[in-house]
Amino acid sequence: MQACNLPKLARKEGPLLYKTQIKVEEKKEARIFAGNLDDYVKQRPNKRLFGTSRFGLRMYKLGSRFPESWLGRSLQTKAGEAPVILDSSLIEASIKGMHNYLRTEGYYYSDITYEVKGRLHKQKVIYNIKTNKPYHIYKIEQHIADRTIDSLYGTMKEFSDIRLGNRLSLENILKEKNRVNEQFRNSGYFTFSKDYVKVDLDTNMGDFHAMVGINIANQPNFLRYKIYTIKSINFEIETDDSFPKSRDSLNLNRFIYKPNGFPLNPEIIGRSLLIEPHKTFNQESSNATFKRLNDLQLFKVINMTANPVNEKSDTPGINYTIRVQPKNKYDFTFEPQAITSDQSNLITGSTGRNYGLASQVTLANKNIFHNAEILQLTYRISIEAQRGANIPRNPIFNSFESNLSASLIFPKLLLLPKLDRKWTNSTNRSLLTASTIWEKNVDWIRNVYGMSFIWQRNLQYINHYFVPVELSYIKTDFSSAQLEEQSKNDPYLQSVFSNNLVTSFKYGFVFNNQSNIRKKNYTYIKWDVLELAGTFINLAYNVFNIAPSDSGYNTFLGVQYFQYAKTFADIRYNKYLDENNRLASRFAIGIALPYGNSSSYVPFDKRFFTGGANSIRAFLPRSIGPGSYDDVGNLDRSGDVRLEANLEFRFNILNHFIEGAIFGDAGNIWRIKEDGRKDAVFNFNTFYQQLAVGTGVGLRLNLDFLILRLDASFPIFDPRKPIGSRYVFKDYTDLGLLWGYTIFNFGVGYPF
C-alpha cells in the first residue's frame, strides 16, 4: 500500500506535496493557536486513509492508465484525487493569512518562515512560527457624547470583554461591540446599532502596551438617542378561503387580535407575547416572542415587524405588526422500517441479534382543542426472526409486537403557571402520554400498559425533563412450557415473568452543544439524575398502617409494586481533528438500587445489559456479566451497575460518502447485592479485572439522511474465562480462531 512510485505521477508538473507541518516555538502559544493557524494553510497534501495510505491518489493513478474509458474517468473524478503539486505562491498566501490571524490575537510582530524538505518528487512544507511578544491592554478610555448613554454604559462595564491586562484581541473587541449593542437595545434604544460603537487602538505607548478607546458618537445630524416605548401590537393570522369569512378584530387588553376565522384561543397568543404596550422596547423580549410563536408548531410563516412612530418627539414609540400563516391541521406519516434487536432466547441462551421488518403510522392533529395542543397517535407493528439452537426456522418470523401510543402536547407547564411565566427564555411543554404494547415471541406473551405526565423546559443547549408521575403495568404469560417449568425453581426467572407494577417519578437533562458547523468539537450528556419508584404508594401504606399481603410484600391493585432508586449518565465527546478525521468517545455509568418492597431485584426492563452493536461490540448482546460469573445455564445477564467506555477514530475514505472507523470498547455489568453467585457483585477492588475489552474496524455508508454501519470486532479480554486465560488475543496467531471470535454488527447511525 505504500509503494514509492506515487510521486512519479507528478514528475512532469513538479514535486508532490507530501506533508505540511506547523511548528510554534512558544509552547503556551502552540497549545492555543496551532489548530487555528492550520486553518490558514492554503494547500494541503492528498488525504490519507488509516493515517498512511493515500487511497484517493492511488485511485487517480489507476484511472490514469486508461483515461479515455468511462471506468478510468470515474476512478479519477469520482473515487480519485488528483496529486497536489507544491505551489510556492500558496505558501506565501498561507504565511500572509497566519500573520493576519496572529495580529488579531495581539501578536503584531510575529516571524513566520518556511522550509521545504524531502526528495526531488516528494516534499513537505514546514512552517516555523515565532509569535514573539503580544500587546496587552494597559489603558482603557471611553468617549461617549450622550450623558445618559455614558451612564448606562458605566453600569454594565463589569461585563465587558475588554479588561486591563488582557491580551489585545480582535475577538474580544467584536464581542464588546455586540455586548454594548444588546445592552442598549434591551434598554429601549431601538435605533441603536453596533456600527455606532467605534474602537480605537493606540500601540505607541511602548513596552508592548496598548490603549483601547471606546467611542460612541451621537446619531447622524447630531441626534440624541431616545428610548422607545411599545405603543401597540397587532396580531393577524392570514388564512385562506377554507376558513369562515369572519374578519372581525378583537381589541384585547394587550394586543389587537385578528384570527380571520382560525380557531385559536387568544390567551395562547397572549402568553406567547413577551412584549407589552406601554413597556420599554426590549430586543431580547422581541426575540423571545418570535421563538415562542415558532415553538407553538402551528405556523409555517411568522413575520414580525417593528415600526417606529413619532421619532421626532421626546416620547417615540413602536407599533408591532405580527402576521402568521398556519400550517396544515393534520400531519400523516408512514415509516417502513428494517429493524434489529438484542432480544435473547432464555431457553437456549442464544444471544444473537434478531432481524425483522416494521411499519409505523403517525397521525398528528394540531390545535385540537383550540389551545395549540397537539395530539399524536402512533401505531407500530413489527415482526422479527428470533433464532437459537432449538428454535424452529419455520415460520421465519416468530416474534411479533404491536404498539399503540397517544400523546397530548401542551405548549405550557400545566399546573405551574408562575414558573411558565417566569421562564421566558425557554420552550416550556407538558406531555401526557399513554401506551399499550402486545408482544409475543418463542418464550413469552407480554402486555405492557403505561402512562406518564412530563414537564419539559428546553433551552438553547440543555433540555430539562421532570416526570412527576409514571405508571406501568406488565403482565407476562409463558408461551414455552419448558421455560414455565424451569421458572418454578429459578428466582431470577420468577422475577422476570411475575406481573409487576412500577410507579415512579424522574428528573433528568440532556446537554448538547453540537451545531451545523462541521469544524467544531461538541459534547453530549444525557443524565437521568434520579428515578425513584414506589415511594408514594409505600408512604401511603405507612401512613395508613396497612398490613402486607400473605406473601410478605405490599401490593397495589393485587400486584406487588417495585421500589428502587436509579441513576444513569451517558457522556459523549466528539473531537474534531481535521476535515477528514474525528475522535469520538463515550463513557456510561449507571446504578439501580432495589430496596423496601422489592429488596432483591429491580424490574427486568429497568436493569442494565451490555454487549451488542451500540455497546461492547466484540461481545454478543446480553452475553457477558454480571461480573465474571459464567456458570453453565446462567440465564441472568442483567445487572444493577453498569460501566462502559468507548473510543472510536472516524475517518473519511471517499468524499464523506464512505467512512471508516477503528474502535475500542470496554465495560461490564454487576449485581449490587449478593445473590449467591461468585464474582457477580460489584467490588471496587476487583471490578477493573472484570471489564470486557474488545476492538475492531468499521465501515459506514453516509447518505446524509441515513448512516448504514457495519462493524467487525473481536475480544481482547474476556472476563467470562478462568483467570489466566482471559487475554484471548494471544490465540489470534491462528487465523481460524481469529475468524471464529470475530463478531459482525450491522446498525443504523453511529453507535454513539
Instruction: Output the pLDDT for position 2.
Output: 42
Question: Cis peptide before 266, with omega less than 30 degrees from 0?
Answer: no
Cβ neighbours of 472 (radius 10 Å): 21
Question: Cis peptide before 626, with omega less than 30 degrees from 0?
Answer: yes
Instruction: Output the pLDDT for position 626.
Output: 93
Q: Are residues 293 and 434 in the same domain?
A: no
Residue 462 within a domain = yes
Q: Are residues 345 and 476 in the same domain?
A: yes
pLDDT at 536 > cutoff 70: yes
Q: How confident is the model at residue 342 (pLDDT cuts 50, 70, 90)?
A: low
- Give the torsion sign (CA, 98, 101, 103, 105): negative
Residue 293 within a domain = yes
Which three three-digit cell numbers place residue 180? 454594548
Give the separation between CA 26 and CA 37, rounded to whole angstroms: 14
Q: What is the CATH number of the domain that holds 707?
A: 2.40.160.50
User: What is the β-pairing status of strands 136-144 and 209-216?
Assistant: parallel
Residue 67 within a domain = no
Instruction: Output the pLDDT for position 1.
Output: 38
Reported as a single tens digit per residue, the pLDDT across 586-608 is 999 999 999 988 888 898 889 99
Q: Are residues 750 and 630 in the same domain?
A: yes
For cell 450528556, name the residue.
525
Q: Are 414 and 401 in contact (CB under 8 A)?
A: no
Q: Helix, strand or coil for residue 454?
A: strand
Q: Are residues 661 and 741 in the same domain?
A: yes
Q: Are residues 320 and 392 in the same domain?
A: no
Which three three-digit cell numbers place residue 731? 490465540
Q: How confident is the model at residue 350 (pLDDT cuts 50, 70, 90)?
A: low
Give the separation between CA 225 and CA 151, rounded to whole angstroms: 13
Q: What average pLDDT score do residues 658-671 get?
A: 95
Helices (H), 156-282: 170-185, 266-272
Which three three-digit cell numbers place residue 599? 429488596
pLDDT at 682 > cutoff 90: yes
Residue 72 within a domain = no
Give the separation between CA 86 and CA 468, rounded to whole angstroms: 64
Instruction: Output the pLDDT for position 247.
Output: 66
DSSP tag of 76: I
Q: Give the phi and the psi of residue 478 in degrees, each rounded to 5.
A: -75, 140
pLDDT at 557 > cutoff 90: no
Q: Which domain-ending residue is among 303, 326, 349?
A: 326
pLDDT at 482 > cutoff 60: yes
For a pLDDT cut of 90, what percent of the chain falls above it?
A: 59
Q: Are 463 and 457 in contact (CB under 8 A)?
A: yes
Q: Are 313 and 301 in contact (CB under 8 A)?
A: no
Instruction: Output the pLDDT for position 285.
Output: 94
Residue 584 within a domain = yes
For a pLDDT cut of 70, what percent of the chain falls above it?
A: 94
Instruction: Output the pLDDT for position 696.
Output: 96
Which of 27-36, 369-378, 602-611 has the lowest average pLDDT?
A: 27-36
Helices (H), 490-596: 491-497, 535-543
Q: Are residues 277 and 196 in the same domain?
A: no
pLDDT at 500 > cutoff 60: yes
Q: How confident is the model at residue 351 (pLDDT cuts 50, 70, 90)?
A: low
For cell 522550509, name the residue.
115
Q: Are 655 and 707 in contact (CB under 8 A)?
A: no
Instruction: Output the pLDDT for position 479.
Output: 80
Per mean pLDDT, which of 101-115, 220-234, 704-718 is the most reliable?
101-115
Reported as a single tens digit per residue, the pLDDT across 421-479 is 888 888 999 999 999 999 998 888 999 999 999 999 999 899 999 999 999 999 888 88
Reported as a single tens digit per residue, the pLDDT across 695-716 is 999 999 998 888 999 999 999 9
Rg (CA), the chain: 33
- Residue by residue, what is the 3-state secondary structure of 644-705? EEEEEEEEEEECCCEEEEEEEEEEEEEECCCCCCCCCECCCCCHHHHCEEEEEEEEEEECCC
Q: Are residues 572 and 669 in the same domain?
A: no
Cβ-proximal residues to 482 (8 Å cutoff; 6+ apart), any chain: 347
Could you tell me which of 602, 603, 586 has the C-alpha nearest to residue 665? 586
Could you tell me which of 650, 583, 618 has the C-alpha nearest to residue 745? 618
Give the separation between CA 352 and CA 316, rounded to whole angstroms: 73
**More confident site: 716 or 342:** 716
Residue 60 within a domain = no
CA 620 and chain centroid, separation: 26
Cβ neighbours of 559 (radius 10 Å): 15
Angle of CA points 729, 734, 740, to nearest 5°: 75
Q: Are 696 and 648 in contact (CB under 8 A)?
A: no
Residue 640 within a domain = no
Give the separation between CA 134 and CA 590, rounded to whole angstroms: 48
Could you tell me which of 387, 492, 359 has the C-alpha nearest to residue 443? 387
Q: Are residues 369 and 437 in the same domain?
A: yes
**Distances from the Cα of 420 to the Cα of 115, 254, 292, 452, angstroms:** 63, 19, 12, 20
Angle of CA points 422, 428, 432, to nearest 5°: 130
Which three three-digit cell numbers place residue 262? 382560525
Q: Are residues 287 and 430 in the same domain?
A: no
Q: Are residues 341 and 482 in the same domain?
A: yes
Helices (H), 498-533: none
Residue 1 within a domain = no
Cβ neighbours of 77 (radius 10 Å): 13
**Distances from the Cα of 371 to the Cα of 265, 269, 410, angstroms:** 6, 9, 8
Q: Which domain-ending residue is among 173, 192, 222?
A: 222
Q: Helix, strand or coil for residue 410?
A: strand
Instruction: Output the pLDDT for position 352.
Output: 60
Give the separation between CA 99 and CA 131, rounded to whole angstroms: 9
Give the separation between CA 462 and CA 682, rounded to whole angstroms: 32
Q: What average pLDDT score do residues 361-383 get?
A: 96
Give the separation between CA 493 and CA 346, rounded to whole angstroms: 9
Reported as a single tens digit per residue, the pLDDT across 115-137 is 999 887 889 999 999 999 999 99
For cell 436493569, name the residue.
607
Domain total for the chain? Answer: 6
pLDDT at 669 > cutoff 80: yes
The amino acid sitting at 603 is P
Which of 272-276, 544-548, 642-646 has the lowest average pLDDT?
A: 544-548
Q: Are 390 and 348 in contact (CB under 8 A)?
A: yes
Q: What is the pTM of this model?
A: 0.84
What is the rounded average pLDDT for all residues in the chain? 89
Reported as a single tens digit per residue, the pLDDT across 32-91 is 888 789 889 999 888 776 555 677 888 888 888 888 888 888 887 777 888 899 999 999
Q: Are 6 and 55 in contact (CB under 8 A)?
A: no
Strands (E), 131-261: 136-144, 197-202, 209-216, 229-237, 250-251, 256-258
Residues β-bridged to residue 219 = 223
Could you tell me which of 427, 397, 389, 421 has the C-alpha nearest to residue 409? 427
Which three three-digit cell numbers place residue 581? 478525521
Cβ neighbours of 495 (radius 10 Å): 21
Q: Give the CA-trace dihedral at 222, 224, 229, 234, to 10 degrees.
A: 10
Q: What average pLDDT score do residues 617-625 get?
A: 89
Q: Are residues 409 and 443 in the same domain?
A: yes
Q: Are residues 344 and 434 in the same domain?
A: yes
What is the domain range of residue 40? 6-46+83-130
Which three three-digit cell numbers place residue 466? 421532570
Which three three-digit cell numbers place residue 270? 397572549
Instruction: Output the pLDDT for position 4.
Output: 46
Q: What average pLDDT score do residues 181-194 get?
A: 95
CA 145 and chain centroid, separation: 47
Q: Helix, strand or coil for residue 637?
A: coil
Q: Are 250 and 258 in contact (CB under 8 A)?
A: yes
Q: What is the CATH number of the domain that holds 256?
A: 3.10.20.310
Q: Which domain-ending residue is among 281, 303, 326?
A: 326
Q: Are 106 and 168 in contact (CB under 8 A)?
A: yes
Cβ-proximal residues to 389 (8 Å cutoff; 6+ apart), any chain: 348, 350
Q: What share of the chain is helix, strand, coil (3-state, %, to 5)?
A: 20, 40, 40
Residues β-bridged to residue 512 = 524
pLDDT at 346 > cutoff 90: no
The amino acid sitting at 470 is E
For cell 405490599, name the residue.
554
Q: What average pLDDT score do residues 311-315 get?
A: 89
